[in-house]
Amino acid sequence: MTSIERGRRSGVSPEDPLVKGLARAWGLQRPWAQLIFKLGTGTTAVLSALVVVLICVFLTVFAWPAIRFNGWNILTGTIWNIGNQYGSGSITHNGYSAEPGAQFGGLVFIFGTLATATVAMIAAVPLAFLVSVALVYRVPARIRPLANALVELMAGVPSVVYGLWGMVVLVPWIGTKLAPAATAHLGFLPIFHGDAGSGNGLLAASTIIALMVIPIMVATIRDVINAQATSVYEASMALGSTSWQAVTRAVLPSVRNGMIAAIMVAFGRALGETMAVLMVCGAAINTYPQNIFQSVNTLAAVIVSQLESALTDSSGMAQRSLAELAVVLFAITVVLNMLARGILRGADRSQEAQ
């Protein structure tokens, strides 16, 4: 039985007497009400899709001069330079000009976006799964509502609060304690090799992102476990497995689809998180981190931090190149979303085959 079938079984049918009663009470069975309802839902459905398309079209149109000017350099170049605003002359490429010395390479930011999100997910996924398991099976029923509320509260904390905490507590701790110790004693590992830096960087940004996405994942995974795996866990325990075996061998496989969905939502959030990341990432420019402690920069963070000076670019190419970075971020999110859908569909099919 797939999750969808299970949903259909427990779902509400239009023949349900309760639904029929409600519809009658609201006058929804009258033809004009039906029409208004159809039109209303239809319009909003189309509108919500249209908004996404329009944003994409607007961004692409606005970024078009930059797309022509930069060519593939936006994806492959590592140097970001809005050009000498106070110099003389200008440079022209494919019919579009920018200030002298300008080049807009976005690879550093694309790398930083994927790296911070990936490291964050590596830490957050197992934690979120374990927290969900604990909330469902381990936390005593008496304090469960409180524990759930606390986790949900984590999701409600504004991201800039995480950023501020990261800036005044986490970053100094990494910079003065963790990074010097790790580079000194574990320097033989590539991720700890090299200069310790200041604490602002990949690890700080990923930690903050992980803290922000864990509650999002926990909310989904916990509900999936509650809905699908309570009996599986009990059955597994009844067959004599340890609770670790029950969780890893029985619960985990049965909530796999829910996990993947939760991971994708969280990954999308991780890619786009802006302010908190900007506050702790070290805003690297023209450089990649040599280890996990050094400065990085993400697409979202660089758009915010460079916008101010891009406004003073008289050629306008800096603003348009930032818009092109937004298009790239948009494209990354769409591609990952499609990948996730593909995985889910594949998983559904393989389950059906069993």
Residue 80 binds to other proteins (criterion: CB under 8 A): yes
Interaction mask 156-175, other proteins, x per CB under 8 A: -----------xx--xx--x
Residue 184 binds to other proteins (criterion: CB under 8 A): no
Whole-number Å distance between alpha carbons of 97 and 110: 24
Side-chain half-sphere exposure of 36, counting CA atoms within 13 A: 8
Q: Which residue has the tokens 């795996």?
A: 229
Residue 195 binds to other proteins (criterion: CB under 8 A): yes
Residue 127 binds to other proteins (criterion: CB under 8 A): no
Give which of 243, 244, 231, 169 is closest to 200, Cα–Cα: 169
Q: How far is the CB of 267 from other proteins (least distance, A)?
A: 25
Q: How many residues does the chain have?
A: 354
Residue choice 207, 254, 294, 321 for contact with other proteins (CB under 8 A): 294
Residue 305 binds to other proteins (criterion: CB under 8 A): yes
Instruction: Kindly tell me which of 105 and 215 has the beta carbon lying closer to other proteins.
Output: 105
- Under a CB-based contact definition with an 8 Å cutoff, are residues 285 and 258 in contact? no
Residue choice 43, 84, 118, 230 for contact with other proteins (CB under 8 A): 84
Residues between 85 and 114 with contacts to other proteins, criterion CB under 8 A: 85-88, 90, 99, 101
Whole-number Å distance between alpha carbons of 320 and 276: 24
**Structure token digits, residue 176:** 């003065």
Side-chain half-sphere exposure of 326, counting CA atoms within 13 A: 22
Pairing of strands 91-93, 96-98: antiparallel
Q: Which residue has the tokens 């926990």?
A: 218
Which element (helix H / strand E) includes 59? helix 31-70
Residue 73 binds to other proteins (criterion: CB under 8 A): no
Interface region with other proteins, contact rule CB under 8 A, candidates 8-16, 79-87, 126-134, 221-229: 79-87
Residue 354 binds to other proteins (criterion: CB under 8 A): no
Q: How far is the CB of 155 from other proteins (least distance, A)?
A: 25
Q: Interface with other proteins by CB under 8 A: which residues?
A: 79-82, 84-88, 90, 99, 101, 167-168, 171-172, 175-176, 194-200, 278-279, 282-287, 289-290, 294-295, 297, 305-312, 314-315
